[in-house]
Chains A and B, each alone.
Chain A
């Protein structure tokens, strides 16, 4: 494996449904080691699709029509499915959106963290168990031993998300995809979980692709931002710059649409319908020129 500066390169990625509907349009982004990139955009913009393309878990009816995905310099879409699966498992992990459905209800917590380490990463069982205990401790779970022996239904939503964060960090991945990891949680728990992810991310130097639609979260956690609209990148810039000097009108509208806790008097303004209409019209024009990867 040749050394590569980037943890993740997505290059001109296009995915589509069988009927030709495009879900991602020439999406490019990079993540450097230890970097957190926020992926923002309204619901349906295709944020999750980017994460799923990288991890190889696209729905069966969605296909990559064009583009490259490089994980630590390795071309994922040139690999056989089995090799791809192993490569992704070696270098990447997922923190899912809904902790209630992301744990197997009939299996204890312990094996759900330990098994992948033993069976996929090739660790010894005792090493894997020690690692699981250590990580459960680091996600601030009291009594990790007892939790390892519990079933998911015995834990609260916040506890389960901590478990899933521990499981994601356990194999020391170079990249973590966090797909709206706090949306399904209570507001009070959201902040704790966010802080926890940032804490572990900084300790381990893992790159994180952080999917969210909350500009407030973007400001707190990320160094870079990709703004997505209808499967197309509107803006890609360092986080501070996006807030001080947003270049794209859609980014400006998104920031304006975010309710600010610091400044409650500032009027809340939704993204203008005229702007959305205009953007859609331009994208439709682009699509007419698109050759669908057949050149």
Chain B
């Protein structure tokens, strides 16, 4: 039973990734813009162009190119970046930690902030506080992530410059880490200067990504909480002497969390998509920033690598969401 689920899941994952690969591969090649022309200095001869085209295999037919690329991919070779002249795999994996740390920090902020507002809203249901929180939520929600980015740059980078507005870490720090997970490895090594600098660089972009999601979580979770707080088992908890806050946290929250979990799962993939622009705004050295450069430079192998990685990431997130369902809801555990 479980084995069957896992196998089905694995098969659909592979089919999905293959589909994504086909689409990306085709799209980047039919889109206008010649990668070879971008690489050569002005005044290159026809012959130079022909040579390079052959070198990168762009003279072959599309299916042939795809077959060559795919046979490399299954061996873990995603080709070489045209602009950076390094293996795509290395480049992408080098940037992935920065984007992962940023997205996860944004997610943590969104869940904490949204959860807190939801609990307060449910606790103060029917009062002016709830109305105030609802209005604030609506306002926050109507501003997209990149605009939050610009607002933060203006507020804390220009008007009251307390936070660094570009980069991932203070370049003066001497960092000899084995991975690019600055926060995680910094914590493990006790390099709190690196952790602090990375976090302070991450704060504004993470907040920009987190705020719209936090508002969504606050709204949906509060609604679910209010529904659960009518149910008999919460009434019984009150009779047994639990305070309203205890009833919300102990009895209602887990039951109310399921719809929010679905939302978070779906929205987290959007959030990761949002890193592309937000990383650009804050010159944050992550995958998204690299993706924009790759597109501008028509770096086809790099674009393909990044897109496949994003797709794989989305699939993993959905898998984790499904798993946490089972943890939250005992009825799904059997059968």
Asked whether, in the complex, the Cβ of B243 is within 8 Å of the Cβ of A85, the reply is: yes
Asked whether, in the complex, the Cβ of A106 is within 8 Å of the Cβ of B329, the reply is: yes
Q: Which residue of B lies closest to A177 (CB)?
A: B239
Tell me if A98 is interfacial: C-beta within 8 Å of chain B. Answer: yes
Known: A60-B126, A101-B231, A106-B329. A93 touches B239 (CB 8 A): yes
CA distance A153 to B255 in the complex (A): 14
Chain B residues within 8 Å of chain A by Cβ, number? 21
| Chain A residues whose CB sits within 8 angstroms of the CB of B131 once the complex forms | none
| Chain B residues whose CB sits within 8 angstroms of the CB of A90 once the complex forms | 241
Known: A88-B239, A116-B242, A120-B240. A96 touches B232 (CB 8 A): yes
CA distance A121 to B331 in the complex (A): 31
Chain A residues within 8 Å of chain B by Cβ, number? 30
Tell me if A57 is interfacial: C-beta within 8 Å of chain B. Answer: yes
| Chain A residues whose CB sits within 8 angstroms of the CB of B77 once the complex forms | none
Tell me if A123 is interfacial: C-beta within 8 Å of chain B. Answer: no
CA distance A150 to B243 in the complex (A): 26
| Chain A residues whose CB sits within 8 angstroms of the CB of B238 once the complex forms | 56-57, 85
Asked whether, in the complex, the Cβ of A82 is within 8 Å of the Cβ of B239, the reply is: no
| Chain A residues whose CB sits within 8 angstroms of the CB of B251 once the complex forms | 104, 107
Tell me if B147 is interfacial: C-beta within 8 Å of chain A. Answer: no
Known: A106-B255, A106-B330, A153-B331. A94 touches B236 (CB 8 A): yes
Asked whether, in the complex, the Cβ of B240 is within 8 Å of the Cβ of A116, the reply is: yes
Which residue in B126, B237, B242, B328 is a CB contact (below 8 Å) of A106?
B328
Tell me if A243 is interfacial: C-beta within 8 Å of chain B. Answer: no
A-B contact count (CB 8 A): 65
Known: A101-B233, A104-B251. A153 touches B239 (CB 8 A): no
Asked whether, in the complex, the Cβ of A85 is within 8 Å of the Cβ of B233, the reply is: no
| Chain A residues whose CB sits within 8 angstroms of the CB of B254 once the complex forms | 106-107
Question: Which of A93, A103, A106 is the most central at the interface, judged by chain B CB atoms within 10 Å of its CB?
Answer: A106
Asked whether, in the complex, the Cβ of A86 is within 8 Å of the Cβ of B255, the reply is: no
CA distance A94 to B238 in the complex (A): 10
Q: Mark A109-126, 1 if CB is under 8 A from B, else 0.
A: 000000110011100000
CA distance A172 to B255 in the complex (A): 29
CB distance from A76 to the nearest CB of B (A): 13
Known: A106-B255, A151-B331, A153-B331. A94 touches B233 (CB 8 A): no
Asked whether, in the complex, the Cβ of A92 is within 8 Å of the Cβ of B239, the reply is: yes
Asked whether, in the complex, the Cβ of B328 is within 8 Å of the Cβ of A89, the reply is: no
Tell me if B26 is interfacial: C-beta within 8 Å of chain A. Answer: no
| Chain B residues whose CB sits within 8 angstroms of the CB of A94 once the complex forms | 235-236, 239
CB distance from B266 to the nearest CB of A (A): 22
Known: A60-B126, A88-B241. A96 touches B236 (CB 8 A): yes
Known: A106-B254, A151-B331. A120 touches B233 (CB 8 A): no
Please report A residues at the B interface, Cβ cutoff 8 Å.
55-57, 60, 82, 85-86, 88-90, 92-94, 96, 98, 101-107, 115-116, 119-121, 151, 153, 164
- Besides A98-B232, A104-B233, A107-B251, 6 more A-B contacts (Cβ < 8 Å) are A82-B243, A94-B239, A102-B232, A102-B236, A105-B330, A116-B242
Going nearest first, the 5 A-B pairs with the smallest beta carbon separation are A89-B241, A120-B241, A116-B240, A101-B232, A102-B232
